[in-house]
Chain A
Amino acid sequence: MLDIAVAYNRYKFLGNEFLTWLWFIIETDESSFRQHNPDFISLTVGNRLVLENTLNNAKETVTIRGDNASLEEGLVALTKGAVVTEIHLSYKTGSQNWEFSLKGESLNISNLKLPETGPVETPDDLEGVVLEKVYLIEKVLGFVNRLFSHFVHLRFSNTWDHETVAKIHKWAASK
Chain B
Amino acid sequence: MGLLSSRMSITRYQVKGQLDGSVHETVYQGLKKHAIPKIEDDSSEATVGWTSFETPYAPDFEGYSFVFGTHMVFALRIDKKSIPPKLIQKHYALYVAKRLADTGRHYLSGNEKKSIKDHVVNTLVHRIPAAPNVYDVVWEYDTASLWFFSNLKAANEALETLFIKSFNLQLIRLFPYTMADRMAGLSDQERDVLRKLEKRRSEE
Which residues of chain A have a CB within 8 Å of any CB of chain B?
Answer: 2, 4, 7-8, 10-15, 18, 104-114, 120, 123, 126-127, 129-131, 133-134, 137, 141, 145, 148-149, 152-153, 156
A8 in contact with B186 (CB, 8 Å): no
Task: Kindly list chain A residues whose C-beta atoms are within 8 Å of the C-beta of B11.
Answer: 106, 108
Indicate if the CB atoms of A149 and B183 lie closer than 8 Å: yes
Residues of A within 8 A of B147 (CB): 137, 141
A134 CB contact (under 8 Å) in B71, B173, B180? B71
Once the chains bind, are A109 and B9 in contact (CB under 8 Å)? Answer: yes
Main secondary structure of the interface of A (DSSP, over half): helix
Lowest 3 CB-CB distances: which A-B pairs, in order? A11-B177, A15-B176, A14-B176
Contact present for A149 and B184 (CB under 8 Å): yes
Q: Are A107 and B179 in contact (CB under 8 A)?
A: yes
Contact A131 B69, CB 8 Å, known A2-B177, A108-B10, A112-B9: yes
Interface secondary structure of B, over-half rule: mixed
Q: How far is the CA of A4 from the CA of B157 in the complex (A)?
A: 13
Q: Apart from A120-B4, A153-B186, what 8 extra A-B contacts exist at CB < 8 Å?
A: A8-B175, A14-B176, A15-B175, A107-B179, A109-B10, A112-B8, A148-B180, A149-B183
Q: Provide the B183-204 mask, 1 if CB < 8 A to any CB of A, else 0.
A: 1111000100110011001100
A106 touches B175 (CB 8 A): yes
Q: Are A141 and B12 within 8 A (Cβ)?
A: yes
Assembly CA distance A145 to B178 (angstroms): 12
A8 in complex: contacting residue of B53, B177, B184, B185, CB < 8 Å: B177
CB-based contact B9/A10 at 8 Å: no
How many chain-B residues does the 8 Å CB contact rule pick out?
38
> Do A7 and B178 form a contact, CB below 8 Å, given A120-B4, A130-B68, A149-B184?
yes
Looking across the interface, which residue of chain B has its beta carbon closest to that of A150?
A: B184
Count of A-B contacts judged by CB separation below 8 Å:
115
Taken together as a complex, chains A and B put the C-alpha atoms of A13 and B6 apart, in Å, by 31
A142 to B121, CA, bound (A): 48
Q: Is B174 an interface residue (CB 8 A)?
A: yes
Q: Assuming A14-B180, A15-B175, A152-B186, is B3 touching A130 (CB within 8 A)?
A: yes
Bound complex: CA A148 to CA B182 (Å):
12
Closest to A111 in B: B7
Return chain A residues, CB-CB under 8 Å to B193.
Answer: 156
Contact among B8, B183, B184 with A153 in the assembled complex (CB-CB below 8 Å) = B184
Could you list 12 A-B pairs, sorted by A, with CB under 8 Å?
A2-B198, A7-B178, A106-B176, A107-B175, A108-B9, A108-B11, A120-B4, A127-B68, A127-B69, A130-B68, A133-B3, A137-B10
Contacts A105-B176, A130-B68, A156-B186 given: A10-B12 contact, CB under 8 Å? no
- Within 28-77 of B, Cβ neighbours of A (below 8 Å) are at 53-54, 68-69, 71, 73
Q: Which residue of B lies closest to A12 (CB)?
A: B176
Contacts of A2 in B (CB 8 A): 177, 198
CA–CA, A76 and B166, complex, Å: 50
Q: In whole angstroms, what is the CA distance A13 to B197 when docked? A: 10
B184 touches A152 (CB 8 A): yes
Q: Is B133 an interface residue (CB 8 A)?
A: no
Q: Are A130 and B185 in contact (CB under 8 A)?
A: no
Which B residues touch A18, using CB under 8 A? 176
